[in-house]
Amino acid sequence: MPEVKHSYETVFILSTKLGEEETAALVKKFTDLVAANGTVDSVDEWGKRKLAYEINKESEGYYTLINFTSVPSFTAELDRVYKITDGVLRSLIIRKDV
Q: Is the Cβ–Cβ distance between 96 and 68 less than 8 Å? A: no
Residue 97: predicted pLDDT: 80
Q: What is the set of domains in the chain, with CATH numbers?
A: 6-95 (3.30.70.60)
C-alpha 41: how far from chain center: 13
Residue 1: predicted pLDDT: 55
Report the predicted TM-score, pTM, of the whole model to 2 decimal places.
0.90
Residue 60: predicted pLDDT: 95
Mean pLDDT, the chain, integer: 93
